[in-house]
Homo-oligomer: A and B are copies of this chain.
Amino acid sequence: MEKASRMTKQRKLILDVLRSTKSHPTADWIYNQVRGEMPNISLGTVYRNLGVLKEKGEILELNYGSSFSRYDCNPENHYHLTCTKCERVFDLKIPIQKQLVKEVMDIDGHKVLDHRLEFYGICKECKKQEVN
């Protein structure tokens, strides 16, 4: 059975901060935000709580294409585009591609439990500023 867990002030604050932004922040960014409200919180606590929240399925850890993780308050699988110009990560509206899972099972014979799809390119906003 699942381990008990408490909703401490720290954990709640971390979750609130993550839910209050549309960006996909790093642990360090979250740490700095949270410190505004709770100056003595430690970075270790932030990491531990992000880990717990991830285990409970309340958030996602994104560690794609860089040496550090970003976190996402939306635990449902969805896809992202990382802008190579401004480095921001955007949620995409395109639907989950369920047929891919079937395809991998049929063609490659593995049992698929999960998948991640990440795009890289120039975001809508940076595109406007591009000279042709």
Contacts and interface: CB of A to CB of B under 8 A. Distances in A.
Interface of A: 63-67, 79, 81, 83-84, 90, 92-94, 97, 100-101, 103-104, 107-124, 127
Contact of A121 (B100, B110, B122): B110
Contacts of A127: 109-111
Contact of A117 (B67, B100, B109, B124): B100
A97 B94 contact: no
How many copies the complex holds: the figure is: 2
Nearest to A103: B94
Given A110-B123, A116-B65, A121-B111, A94 B90 contact: no
Contact of A104 (B66, B114, B119): B119
Contacts of A111: 121-123, 127
Given A94-B100, A97-B100, A107-B94, A112 B65 contact: no
